[in-house]
A and B are shown apart, each in its own frame.
Chain A
Amino acid sequence: MRALVYEGPYRVRVRDKPAPRIEHPDDVILRVTRAAICGSDLHLFHGMVPDTRVGTTFGHEFTGVVEEIGSSVRGVRAGDRLVVPFNISCGTCFYCERGLYGDCESSNPMNDLASGVFGYSHTTGGYDGGQAQYVRVPFADVGPMKIPDDLDDEDVLLLSDVLPTGYQAAEMGAIRQGDVVAVLGCGPVGLVAARSAWLLGASRVVAVDRIEARLGFAERWAGAETIDLRREHDPIAALKALKGGHGPDVVVDAVGMEASGSAWQTLVGRKLKLAPGSSIALHWAIHSVRKGGTVSIVGVYGPPANLVPIGVAMNKGLTFRMAQANVKRYMPHLLEHVRAGRLDGKGLITHRFPLERAPEAYDLFDAKADGCVKCVLVPSA
């Protein structure tokens, strides 16, 4: 089959490789119909994630049609259309039982950090991902959701990650009626967090980024006010000025380890890799949120450690919530928001490429060029 293959930092190619096969009786093989590229894939693409092996295939946001089923699979049939959560979860372990699907302990033998994740290095289990013609999906009776007949694949594609992640980011902020919410980062995840903050009862939502097209999306798609980092050189002061100088009640970090904004952190963390990336967005969140407020982190950080001002957080009495999203837990609820037009995932898709042109798609999404927000690969094109 044809698949995107990692060949080293900043180098992906589309090549032939053996198609996946059933390796466990609860697996299915999916023929991929859509596979999105995520900000998380950029961390892999830049060589920031430990144990990213040459020859592996990325992609954890995909829809597809069931091609082959394992001998124990009951609820899924050949020909079913599925949207698949990025976490691989068993449904019955200690964590899954508590709805913490992103922590499932049945799918990642390499680390006690997170569940297995499709196409996300051997640090999260060593699974090939969906940026390919076919993909192996374990525990097919648990994670995947059948796509309702009245919806097309792109309507629900982002239920695999971005919609649940952005929503959970806002939900973890424990937003109360009337709260002021700031979201750092206007990538797909930040945009969904901003839109979700409204659904959860915020009275004011402010989104922060430096990319014009994305700030435009924050205004139009998410209904947020914006702070443009190209013009605002002291974002902490600008955020603190909200809510009578206190700062927002909730700040969401939807940026993660490749944040820009600090020359020092960029040098040490992103270029020299003496730390796992830059944590400047998290610094801004901690410094700008009001005392007693909540910082919600969904931007990805890697092991082993970043320097963050924990003493400031302690003295301010902050609450931290953070997670790899528990995707499956959110799918049914968010499907209703999708149906009602309250979370228009498809509206975030700005670019579509045939799988063969995936390297070009990576470069474009990485450069955040041409107004790109969400970029989707189409294997059949």
Chain B
Amino acid sequence: MDDAGRVNVSGAGIDGATGVRPGVPRERRAPDPGAHWDRPEQQHDLTPLARSGLLHATPVFGTAAPPRALSGAVRRLAYRVPEHRATRWALLLAGDRLDVIEHRLAAGLWLLPIAAALAVGYVGVSRALRR
């Protein structure tokens, strides 16, 4: 590491004046040219699992994976706990692990009929042999 300053980068200092920096001052009030509403319209269809204390769903929300099964129940419970409590986040992490287990079990379900057939076959054969 050499300790001579080396300002040989193209554009060095070009945004040095704070007036040209997009985030300065921090709070700028500028109506957004794209938004053609005072308050956006409400998305319908579905009610998202929202935080406690939120009176209405936000105008838009994601619908990627609605809560389901036991992990869903844990998640529903979690969202009733306020955000400042560690319990909320611990429950959500527990829900995540459960979700993975549920998913693996469900993915393994197609093996059940085969396993059942094998078991029946085994019992049948061993009985026949015993006779």
Q: Are A109 and B57 in contact (CB under 8 A)?
A: yes
- Other-chain contact of B51, A109, A126, A303 (Cβ < 8 Å): A109
- Does A303 contact B14, Cβ atoms closer than 8 Å? no
Q: How far is the CA of A109 from the CA of B58 in the complex (A)?
A: 5
> Residue B64 contacts which of A127, A142, A273 (CB distance < 8 angstroms)?
A127
The answer to whether A206 and B63 touch (CB under 8 A), given A26-B40, A109-B50, A109-B58, is: no
Q: Please give, as numbers and ranges, the residues of chain B lying within 8 Å of A83 by CB-CB distance.
A: none
* A157-173 contact mask (Cβ, 8 Å, vs B): 1 or 0: 00000000000100110
- B62 contacts across to A, CB distance below 8 A: 116, 122, 125-128
For residue A340, which residues in chain B have a CB less than 8 angstroms away from its CB? 11
**B40 & A106 in contact (Cβ 8 Å cutoff):** yes
Contact A199 B100 (CB under 8 A): no
With contacts A51-B96, A54-B99, A326-B23 taken as known, whether A199 is within 8 angstroms of B36 at the C-beta atoms is no
Main secondary structure of the interface of A (DSSP, over half): loop
CB neighbours of B16 from chain A (8 A): 177, 200-201
Please tell me if the beta carbons of B32 and A329 are within 8 angstroms of each other in the complex.
Answer: no
Also in contact, A23 and B63, with CB within 8 A (given A141-B36, A171-B23): yes
Instruction: Write the nearest CB–CB distance from B90 to chain A, whole angstroms.
Output: 8
Whether the Cβ atoms of B8 and A72 lie closer than 8 Å is no
Indicate if A53 sits at the interface (CB-CB under 8 A).
Answer: yes
Shortest CB distance B41–A (Å): 6
Instruction: Check B60–A200 contact: CB distance below 8 A.
Output: no
Contact A47 B96 (CB under 8 A): yes
**17 additional contacts (CB under 8 A) given A96-B32, A200-B13:** A51-B78, A53-B99, A57-B64, A99-B23, A99-B30, A100-B27, A109-B54, A110-B79, A125-B58, A126-B48, A196-B15, A200-B15, A203-B5, A204-B3, A223-B6, A273-B93, A333-B20
Shortest 6 CB-CB contacts between residues of A and residues of B = A91-B35, A91-B32, A126-B62, A127-B62, A201-B16, A8-B100
Residues of B within 8 A of A (CB): 1-3, 5-16, 18, 20-24, 26-32, 34-41, 43, 45, 48-51, 54, 57-65, 67, 75, 78-79, 83-86, 88-89, 92-93, 95-96, 99-100, 102-104
